[in-house]
């Protein structure tokens, strides 16, 4: 029976935060300082309203400032910024464009327009703006950081890494930069460097749960389960309702065999996200491991209710019921799994193959040989590398005396597992029954080479030699079988008949 591994979401809460978005209270100007504004000034009022987090009021004030002086680039820059913060991205870009046309060409302005372009999905335009910002302010960590974000959006990880490294050079203690640098290292499978960056980010800002979560998930990727659990515990301590951290923590604790703690973590995850199947799925596996079958069945039924067409959940429902000694219900779940799967999808094809294999195991245990064979044939058709299914299918063919079908299945087994003495012996038996004595002889000999105390194979060798008329060799092998197991009645009878 195939035990299914835990499913866990691997999504990272990567904080691709737009930094440097805010304009300074006294924004940079291009050329001469602006003409002092008489009081009351809508521009200054807009700045104050923005600082007090009154975005609608700030927007209205900057609109008044624009009416007063439509050619003031500072007004357009601030107007674009407030529009951006109000999620009016297209209008924000237009205002930033006007500011640039009016001659305000600062790193902040290019940086902010880049943020707006990235928010609209224009990664190439954002990159162009961020590059301008880095030229105007080459030591600005914000511009380099945002450039890294844009490259991540385009999945250009090498350039993203270079940009984040530049950002970290100019702001070595910035936790957000360290976090995103870790993200890129992780994506590039440079796990040790990712761990180092996430650890530094968490140390710089220890109250930020996301950094501890990323550190824990990366330790988990490296299979450093104790360290992963410790980091994830820090994450949930800081943010108890962190679903991803709770689920990953449950997996780590389960792997460490700290099952009561794992159960608590998965139960906490289920409370945070009551419509997610995953915590209940994993709880069912833990309860089944502890032989708490009623609880295991309860949890897997919740998982099925929440994800009724997921093949792996249905397949595991079959396994949970089989473990609970409810084989007929297990069959029902496995049949649902094979119906739900899309065999054209490679991932689902493998899951459907596993469901057929498990269905074959259960039907075989119920002595439903023909139906077990039918299921196992589908299993090996979908997954020709499934050695267990080939082996069980071969043994069922042998039991049903379908020797023509048994032989090629055992061929598959010995090809995949050439040191399996029993498989060589059984292959020999099928070949012998088909009258292919030379091939049977070779298979039996291989079995005895692999296991010199394999008395069954020596007895079978004797029987083949006897059929081939080579009585001396037959006698030698019968005696070898009896030397290993003196009370082996079949060899006793064969030797007595031969020497009578």
pLDDT tier for residue 40 given thresholds of 50, 70 and 90: low
Instruction: Please state whether 18 falls in left (phi above 0), alpha (psi between -120 and 50) or beta.
Output: beta
Reported as a single tens digit per residue, the pLDDT across 259-287 is 999 999 999 999 999 999 999 999 999 99
Q: Are 469 and 438 in contact (CB under 8 A)?
A: no
- pLDDT given at position 1: 22
Residues 6+ apart with CB under 8 A from 409: 380, 390, 391, 393, 394, 397
Q: Are 352 and 311 in contact (CB under 8 A)?
A: yes
| Range of weakest confidence among 104-108, 219-223, 451-455 | 104-108
Residues 6+ apart with CB under 8 A from 491: 455, 458, 459, 462, 478, 481, 482, 485
Distance between CA 197 and CA 248 in Å, rounded? 20
Q: Are 146 and 20 in contact (CB under 8 A)?
A: yes
The matching CATH number, chosen from 1.50.10.10, 3.30.1330.10, 1.25.40.10, 1.10.3720.10, for 173-273 is 1.25.40.10
The Cα-based distances of 338 to 46, 309, 350 in angstroms read 63, 10, 11
Could you check whether the bond before residue 40 is cis, i.e. omega within 30 degrees of 0? yes
pTM score of the predicted model: 0.80
Reported as a single tens digit per residue, the pLDDT across 240-260 is 899 999 999 999 999 999 999
- pLDDT of 182 > 80? The answer is yes
Reported as a single tens digit per residue, the pLDDT across 9-32 is 222 122 222 222 222 222 222 222
Q: Is 274 exposed, middle or buried (0-12, 13-18, 19+ CB in 10 A)?
A: exposed
pLDDT tier for residue 33 given thresholds of 50, 70 and 90: very low
**Four-point Cα dihedral 481, 482, 488, 494, nearest 10:** 80
Reported as a single tens digit per residue, the pLDDT across 122-160 is 999 999 999 999 999 999 999 999 999 999 999 999 999
Torsion over CA: 214, 218, 221, 227 (sign): negative
- pLDDT of 39 > 80? The answer is no
**Percent helix, strand, coil in the chain (nearest 5)?**
75, 0, 25
Instruction: Please state whether 291 falls in left (phi above 0), alpha (psi between -120 and 50) or beta.
Output: left
More confident residue, 301 or 1: 301
Collapsing DSSP to helix, strand or coil, 484 comes out as helix
Phi, psi at residue 485, to the nearest 5°? -135, 90
Distance between CA 489 and CA 479 in Å, rounded? 12
More confident residue, 39 or 332: 332
Query: For residue 12, how many C-alpha atoms fall within 13 Å in the half-sphere facing its CB?
Result: 21
Residues 6+ apart with CB under 8 A from 50: 58, 78, 82, 85
pLDDT tier for residue 500 given thresholds of 50, 70 and 90: confident
What does the domain layout of the chain look like in residue ranges? 173-273
Phi, psi at residue 34, to the nearest 5°? -65, 155
């Amino acid at each position: 029976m195939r035990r299914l591994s835990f499913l866990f979401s691997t999504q990272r809460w990567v904080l691709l935060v737009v930094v440097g978005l805010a304009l300074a209270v006294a924004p940079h100007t291009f050329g001469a300082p602006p003409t002092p504004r008489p009081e009351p000034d809508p521009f200054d009022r807009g700045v104050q309203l923005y600082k007090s987090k009154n975005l609608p009021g700030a927007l209205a004030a900057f609109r008044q400032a624009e009416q007063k002086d439509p050619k003031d680039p500072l007004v357009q820059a601030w107007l674009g910024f407030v529009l951006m913060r109000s999620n009016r991205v297209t209008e924000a870009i237009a205002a930033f464009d006007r500011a640039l046309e009016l001659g305000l060409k600062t790193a902040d302005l290019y940086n902010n327009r880049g943020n707006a372009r990235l928010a609209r999905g224009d990664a190439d335009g954002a990159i162009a703006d961020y590059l301008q910002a880095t030229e105007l302010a080459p030591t600005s960590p914000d511009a380099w950081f945002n450039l890294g974000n844009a490259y991540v959006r385009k999945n250009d990880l090498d350039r993203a890494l270079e940009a984040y490294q530049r950002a970290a050079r100019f702001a070595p203690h910035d936790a957000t930069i360290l976090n995103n640098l870790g993200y890129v290292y992780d994506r590039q499978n440079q796990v040790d460097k990712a761990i180092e960056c996430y650890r530094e980010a968490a140390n710089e800002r220890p109250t930020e749960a996301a950094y501890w979560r990323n550190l824990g998930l990366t330790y988990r990727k490296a299979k450093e389960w104790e360290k992963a659990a410790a980091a994830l515990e820090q994450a949930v301590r800081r943010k108890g309702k962190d679903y991803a951290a709770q689920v990953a923590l449950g997996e780590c604790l389960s792997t460490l065999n700290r099952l009561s703690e794992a159960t608590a973590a998965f139960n906490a995850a289920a409370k945070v996200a009551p419509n997610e199947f995953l915590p209940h799925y994993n709880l069912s596996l833990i309860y089944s491991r502890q032989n708490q079958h009623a609880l295991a069945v309860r949890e897997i039924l919740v998982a099925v209710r929440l994800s009724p067409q997921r093949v792996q959940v249905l397949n595991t429902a079959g396994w949970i019921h089989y473990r609970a000694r409810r084989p007929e219900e297990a069959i029902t779940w496995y049949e649902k799994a094979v119906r739900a799967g899309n065999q054209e999808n490679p991932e689902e094809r493998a899951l459907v193959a596993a469901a057929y294999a498990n269905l074959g195991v259960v039907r075989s245990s119920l002595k439903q040989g023909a139906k077990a064979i039918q299921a196992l044939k589908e299993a090996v058709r979908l997954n020709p590398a499934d050695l267990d299914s080939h082996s069980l299918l071969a043994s069922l063919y042998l039991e049903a005396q379908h020797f023509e079908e048994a032989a090629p299945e055992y061929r598959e087994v010995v090809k995949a597992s050439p040191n399996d003495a029993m498989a060589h012996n059984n292959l020999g038996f099928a070949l012998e029954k088909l009258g292919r004595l030379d091939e049977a002889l070779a298979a039996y000999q291989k079995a005895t080479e692999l296991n010199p105390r394999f008395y069954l194979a020596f007895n079978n060798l004797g029987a083949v030699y006897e059929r081939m008329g080579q009585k001396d060799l037959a006698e030698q092998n019968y005696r070898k079988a009896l030397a290993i197991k003196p009370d082996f009645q079949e060899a006793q009878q064969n030797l007595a008949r031969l020497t009578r």
